[in-house]
Chain A
Amino acid sequence: MKRTLENIESQFETFQVLNEEGEIVNEELMPELSDDELKELMTRMVYTRILDQRSIALNRQGRLGFYAPTAGQEASQLGTQFALEKEDFILPAYRDVPQLIWHGLPLYQAFLFSRGHYHGNQMPEGVNALSPQIIIGAQYTQAAGVAMGMKKRGKKSVAITYTGDGGTSQGDFYEGINFAGAYKAPAIFVVQNNRFAISVPVEKQTAAQTLAQKAVAAGIEGIQVDGMDVLAVYAATKDARERAVNGEGPTLIETLTYRYGPHTMAGDDPTRYRTEDLDSEWEKKDPIVRFRKFLENKGLWSEEQENEVIEKAKEEIKAAIKKADGQPKQKVSELIENMYEVLPAHLEEQLEEYKAKESK
């Protein structure tokens, strides 16, 4: 009997461009990015790290609500988004707010999403995205549908969606990649493997040695990348996008990454399930540290530039929180009006009832 598991797993070696010292280790796969683009990528990563720090602080002060920390995942989140075009459609999971912001969602609306205000979910005209999905896996089948729709419309664009390592155990994860495969739809499925689904390590999710190999079940391309290496993430996404818009179907990208913070700010304590050794091992892989070294060696980045970004981020966050504070409070009548195009009689009745209460 021929056994093939080892064979399959050997097909999914980790793809890397930059090592931890910021050195190019894979010259021929180095993506074509201008100096300005490289600086912009760094700017976004630094900005997003500050956004995470400020969001945690604002959450602790009670000035933000639901928040899923992102520190550590900047390369994975922003490297994928940087490879997209404006017309591409993002279906994020709950941790993927940064991708939305860089795709065009105003910061104050991201804060309103966190607080639980519907205006936070109203994508501005031309921002192609859904708000963060709470049901793990649902964004995957929906992404297959978005991609099918783009293909039917003859658009040269893609649907990109994100889930975590735990999410790969869901039925909708498999159904999503399998539907996209069967219709050769232009979708990019990203699995951000930060090794833990709340407290459960990835080894408890599956016996598979990589998550990228799950693409085999759908008959689609899969690739595992160093998710702390923004150039590798960007290159893999760019390649998947090109293949997708050329009609070659979807790709599953597994990014090996880490979240330095807790799962969410709702009382999760990572010291219960993670060791200090593991944390410090992954801190050495910090995507910002590595990319900073790379840019400094090229003479493209300085402490001064970084401080400018940090100050700008802090100012904009302050202004955005202020703007979010100024957003009118939600009324039940508005919630009712957002239910249907034409309100059924029972909701018309309830609308009148609440409008009367609200006018008192």
Chain B
Amino acid sequence: MAQMTMIQAITDALRTELKNDENVLVFGEDVGQNGGVFRATEGLQQEFGEDRVFDTPLAESGIAGIAVGLATQGFRPVPEIQFFGFIYEAMDAVNGQMARLRYRTGNTMNAPITIRSPFGGGVHTPELHADSLEGLIAQQPGMKVVIPSNPYDAKGLLISSIRDNDPVVYLEHMKLYRSFREEVPEEAYTIELGKANVKREGTDVTLVAYGAMVQASMKAAEELEKEGIQAEVIDLRTVMPLDIETIIKSVEKTNRVVVVQEAQRQAGMAAQIVTEIQERAILHLEAPVLRVAAPDTVYAFTQAEEVWLPNYNDIIEKVNKVINF
């Protein structure tokens, strides 16, 4: 076991898989010699060579496009998109191409591609760096979307993503990169994709969250406990496919739910989760399912992040609403 930040756990997972499978290729803008703009690929090119870990021209569509081509030659590409706001450049290669490869070839080819990309607010980035765009990919059949919230999950989920034989978008919240350390096993281990984690057991209300909103939900739960409210916190870990079973089980116990996301209300995953709950557990609900989400504006200018991003106070407020409904 070693104390690792989430970014170290990610590097560790990449190293593990580069060692484990010679078909794994890591590439993107500045991921080679430089070790990545966040040091996520630090030392990997030095250890595995330029043939395995390499820099690309500055063109996201090209990066995702070559990943598809490399996949047809039996490789297991792990490309990086420097910031997820730049995914628009690669949307066809991702949603239009790799997502469909298995289906369009009638299951004769597949795209074992893991796109890593940082996103998320609270670290004062410039325009189109922090936007939460997981909802765009989650709406594309053929894709999977994974969002870890801590170092332990980050490693196990990344190894699983890389080993998955279908395309995965693996989103790394920038605020979580170095915000805390955690015990992470040194050996390889996996966490099944599509499985949520009950981070905190509770009986009065369920908080369903992912990404940086998991920490915010945990903090809210601590505060709520002081008021005598026991919140159960579910960290989705994978937002596509959703772990409906774990959510419903919790709802049947607590009878009240708040879904928490950093994305704008009209974006993200919350609406999908609410729908699944009302289709499957309406008779267990004591109150409507409410959402915590950002306002439906373009992502905030840097100096407005603090007033714009959802935080634990917003969660407490919504929990009080469903409790007092």
Residue pair A175, B72 in contact (C-beta under 8 Å): no
Chain B interface residue count, Cβ-Cβ cutoff 8 angstroms: 44
Q: How far is the CA of A335 from the CA of B107 in the complex (A)?
A: 10
B68:A145 contact, CB within 8 angstroms: yes
Most chain A CB inside 10 Å of its own CB: which residue of B70, B142, B144: B70
Please tell me which one of the listed residues A122, A147, A346 contacts residue B105 in the complex, with CB atoms under 8 A apart: A122
Residue of A nearest to B96 (CB): A135
Q: Does A178 contact B59, Cβ atoms closer than 8 Å? A: yes
A182 sits at the interface (CB 8 A):
yes
Is the Cβ of A138 less than 8 Å from the Cβ of B51?
no
Q: Is A143 an interface residue (CB 8 A)?
A: yes
Contacting residues of chain B (66-91) with chain A, CB-CB under 8 angstroms: 66-75
Assign chain A's interface to a size class: 35 or more
**Whole-angstrom CA separation of A144 from B96 in the bound complex:** 17
B65: chain A residues at CB < 8 Å are: 138, 140-142, 144-145, 172, 175-176, 179
Instruction: Give the one of A131, A138, A141 with max B CB within 10 A.
Output: A141
Q: Is A307 an interface residue (CB 8 A)?
A: no
Q: B110 contacts A141, CB within 8 Å?
A: no
Q: Decide if A130 touches B105 in the complex (CB within 8 Å).
A: yes
Contacts of B213 in A (CB 8 A): none
Report the Cα distance A344→B97, complex, angstroms. Answer: 20
CB closest chain-A residue, reference B167: A340
Q: Do B66 and A148 touch across chains, with their CB atoms under 8 A apart? A: yes
- A59: Cβ under 8 A from any B Cβ: no
Contact in complex: A121, B106 (CB < 8 Å)? yes
Find out whether the CB atom of B108 lies under 8 angstroms from the CB atom of A122.
Answer: yes
Complex interface: stretch among B5-13, B225-233, B241-249, B261-269: B241-249
On whether A175 and B102 interact (CB within 8 A), knowing A341-B110, A341-B165, the answer reads no
Q: Let me know if B96 and A138 touch, CB within 8 A.
A: yes
A179 adjacent to B62 (CB under 8 Å): yes
Within 8 A of B (CB), among A138-164: 138, 140-150, 152-153, 159
**Cβ of B103 < 8 Å from any Cβ of A?**
yes
Residues of A within 8 A of B51 (CB): 152
With CB as the reference atom, state the residue of chain B lying closest to A120: B106
Pick 28 A–B contacts, CB within 8 A, sort by A: A89-B72, A121-B108, A122-B105, A122-B106, A130-B72, A138-B92, A138-B96, A138-B97, A141-B64, A141-B66, A141-B68, A142-B72, A144-B66, A145-B66, A145-B68, A146-B70, A147-B69, A149-B69, A149-B72, A149-B75, A152-B73, A172-B62, A172-B65, A179-B59, A339-B103, A341-B166, A344-B194, A345-B194
